[in-house]
Amino acid sequence: MNLTEGDKKTWRSVLRRMSREELTTDVRNRASEEICRRLIDNPKLSEAQCIGFYMPLPDEPEISAVIRHFLDAGKTVAVPRVEDAETMRFLQLRNDTDFSTDNAFGIPEPSPEDAPEISSRDFDLIVVPALAFDAAGFRLGRGKGYYDRYLALAPQAYTIGVTIGLMKPEQLPHDEWDLPMNEVYFGL
């Protein structure tokens, strides 16, 4: 099958295989450094008061330096917490926020007892990870729809997609509910 004709499931399978075969620690570190530099230098982030970030999976750019930078700058910073099969919400980080990895994805998440929820309407900007982005800014996520549903609740938020960039497809399959990013950063 020609990959340009593939469905999302096929694309995810190909990209996960590429990650297993090509994503070394050195490649991830190099890509992460480039993305961190670009995020810190982006005036949109400097101007934003409320920013949504993410806690990375092993095949996503590591952005903890960016999170720390904007926390130290006094911004309201939040990261997602998956509540159930349908719901993701963003909880505010503080310098002393406790994290737990006791979840289906093994991602560090703040405790809801320790971190207040930030309303989707309060975000000025959200940084969104993905397996890949196409030239139009459409993303290929992990297939659960968490970001699709959340971004639909935050139409005012400027979105920046980030990915390691092992593949840069011209066009990805997308559905009518998929929203393109305002900007996309490839680490490679």
The string of DSSP letters for 40-71 reads: HH-HHHHH-SEEE--PPPTTS---HHHHHHHH
Distance set, CA 10 to CA 45, 112, 128, 180 (Å): 34, 35, 21, 20
Q: What is the pLDDT of residue 107?
A: 87
Cα–Cα distance for residue pair 117/103, rounded to 1 Å: 18
Q: How does residue 3 score in pLDDT terms, banded at 50, 70 and 90? A: low
Convert 64-100 to b/e letters by CB count within 10 Å (16 or more is b).
Answer: eebbebbbeeebbbbbbbbeeeeebbbbbbeeebebe
Q: What is the pLDDT of residue 99?
A: 87
Q: What is the pLDDT of residue 165?
A: 96
Sign of CA dihedral 120, 125, 129, 134: positive
Q: What is the mean pLDDT of residues 47-69?
A: 97
Q: Looking at the predicted structure, is the pLDDT value of residue 1 above 50?
A: no
pLDDT, tens only, 123-180: 999 999 999 999 999 999 998 999 999 999 999 999 999 999 999 999 999 989 899 9
Q: Looking at the predicted structure, is the pLDDT value of residue 2 above 50?
A: no
| 72: CB partners within 8 A, 6+ apart | none
Kind and range of the H or E run holding 9: helix 8-22
Structure tokens, 171 = 């066009």
Return the number of other C-beta atoms located less than 10 Å from residue 176's C-beta. 4
pLDDT, tens only, 80-123: 999 988 999 999 999 888 888 888 778 889 988 889 999 999 99
Q: Looking at the predicted structure, is the pLDDT value of residue 20 above 60?
A: yes
